[in-house]
Amino acid sequence: MPNLLEIKDLVVGYEKGPPIVEDFFLTVEAGEVLALVGESGCGKSLTGLAVLGLLPAGIQIKKGKILFKGKDLAGLSPREYVRLRGREIAIIFQDPMVSLNPVFTVGDQIAEVLCWHQGLSKKEALKQAEALLREVGIPAARERLKAYPHELSGGMRQRVMIAMALAGQPALLIADEPTTALDVTIQAQILELLAKLREQHQLTILLISHDLGVVAELADRVAVMYAGRLVEMTTCHRLYQQPRHPYTEALLEALPRPGKKTLTVLPGVVPPPGKRPEGCKFQPRCPGARKNCTREEPPLKEVERGHWVRCFYA
Ligand SMILES: Nc1ncnc2c1ncn2[C@@H]1O[C@H](COP(=O)(O)OP(=O)(O)OP(=O)(O)O)[C@@H](O)[C@H]1O
Ligand SMILES: [Mg+2]
């Protein structure tokens, strides 16, 4: 499978200050679901935002390449980015209330995207918006077109966001913690919906989550991020069966599973940018750290075909 997205040697950092995402590598193959996981503050969201040219003010791409369909996005003009967003790459966030406009009905908001991306008339766009709402599993879609975001439940709002993302017929969907704000039953329904849409639209999905349990349902491959770096990337199956990085092991240890009596929580927190230790960034929390881990940062190595690990003792 060709790579739809390939991120190489990426450094994202404060305009004046330390790097946040460093020496970052990631590939997303056409048609797959790649999960990007790691604890809070690892740099997952910033990586997603960098792809879309939506980094917050004061944070910028310092180095590296973001190749989408072979073209480097890091050099796009703001105008080219506007054309790319929605049409080629769409994003959904954790809290749809932030992304939906509270003063317009959901029908008008979806129709606007359709008019903009597909040049439809308002009437045609509303008809298609209704079809999209039906597709994402919203009951009584025609009536819902006239609803305002606050009149819908959290799960329904997330479905509306997904409908809006689909409206531009993007090749890549970046879903940043799409189910984190929802309760577990709704969470499962949204994941099911994403799985269905992926089949029907040949969607490629970059699924960002702090929860390895959530992504197991949907992901083909998993990329684990720690302190701004990729530390392990392989197929979902391999990662759960044979993790090679101590950080991945620790994340799996903390995951509840059937038959498991005790959960081991990894002590400590992710060091923030500017306060990251010498050598391997994970060594202060690593049970297997040795002397050289404190001096030298291990390089990212392909230990087996398609299985990448950043550890001297993988
Ligand atoms: N708007 C911002 N302004 C300044 N610093 C930021 C901003 N957003 C992120 N950062 C810095 O970048 C680091 C990584 O943030 P990011 O949001 O990418 O983490 P994350 O892995 O998505 O975490 P979470 O699971 O909490 O969403 C943060 O710890 C913070 O130091
Ligand atoms: Mg985030």
181-224 pLDDT, tens digit each: 888 888 999 999 999 999 999 999 999 999 998 898 899 999 99
CA of 99 to the centre of ligand 2 (A): 15
CA of 43 to the centre of ligand 2 (A): 7
Ligand 1: residue of 7, 10, 12, 20 to mutate (most ligand atoms within 8 A of CB) is 20
Whole-number pLDDT of residue 221 = 98
Q: Are 281 and 288 in contact (CB under 8 A)?
A: no
Residue 97: what residue type?
A: M
pLDDT in tens, 39-55: 999 999 999 999 999 99
Mean pLDDT of 107-118: 92
Euclidean distance between CA atoms 33 and 224, whole angstroms: 14
Euclidean distance between CA atoms 65 and 63, whole angstroms: 7
Ligand 1: residue of 15, 37, 46 to mutate (most ligand atoms within 8 A of CB) is 46
- Whose C-alpha lies nearest to ligand 1, atom 14? 43
Among the CATH numbers 3.40.1190.10, 2.60.40.10, 3.40.50.300, 3.20.20.80, which is that of 3-88+170-309?
A: 3.40.50.300
pLDDT of residue 292 exceeding 80, the answer is yes
The pTM of the whole model exceeds 0.75: yes
Ligand 1 pocket member 48 (CB < 6 A): no
Ligand 1: residue of 10, 15, 16, 42 to mutate (most ligand atoms within 8 A of CB) is 42
Domain ranges of the chain: 3-88+170-309, 98-169
| Structure tokens, 131 | 């079809």
Residue 182: what residue type?
A: L
How far is residue 204 from each of residues 155, 164, 177, measured CA to CA in Å? 22, 16, 16
Euclidean distance between CA atoms 168 and 113, whole angstroms: 7
Phi-psi region of 165 (alpha: psi -120 to 50; beta: other; left: phi over 0): alpha
Q: Which residues hold their Cβ within 5 A of ligand 2, which is an ion?
A: 45
Pick the atom of ligand 1 nearest to 43's CA: 18
Whole-number pLDDT of residue 281 = 98
pLDDT in tens, 81-111: 998 998 899 999 887 777 889 999 999 999 9
3-state helix, strand, coil in the chain (%, to 5): 35, 25, 40
